[in-house]
Amino acid sequence: MVRYYCPFCNPKYQFQTQSSKGNLICGLCGEDLVKKPFIRWNQIIALVAASSLLLPLIYTFIFLIKNQINPPNKNYQANNSIMKIIKEKI
């Protein structure tokens, strides 16, 4: 459903009437009504800004919960073999 509004009148007191040509006009001032878009550019920009701030936070919480349910394996044997190689070179 396309919504129309008068850019000059207060939205509280607007009512639509139809002209003899079939155009919708404002009942208060008589100006043509303007189509109100379903999604405006400032809404899109606000969604992008909000998601750029919230997605890293959500991502962090997901991995925090995942690591608490299934903790990663702590394999220190690989670290010891690297340390032995480093000690041999010194």
Pairing of strands 3-5, 16-18: unpaired
pLDDT-above-70 percentage for the chain: 79
Predicted model pTM? 0.47
Rounded to whole angstroms, the Cα distance separating 63 from 58 reads 9
Contact by Cβ (8 Å): 32, 23: yes
What is the count of structural domains for the chain?
2
Q: In angstroms, what CA-CA distances link 63 with 14, 23, 50, 51, 60? A: 51, 56, 20, 18, 5
Q: Report which of residues 21 and 49 the model is more confident about.
A: 49
Average pLDDT score over residue span 22-27: 83
Average pLDDT score over residue span 60-80: 77
Q: Are residues 17 and 54 in the same domain?
A: no
Q: Are residues 57 and 30 in the same domain?
A: no
Range of the domain at 18: 3-36
Q: Are residues 17 and 47 in the same domain?
A: no
Q: Are residues 32 and 59 in the same domain?
A: no
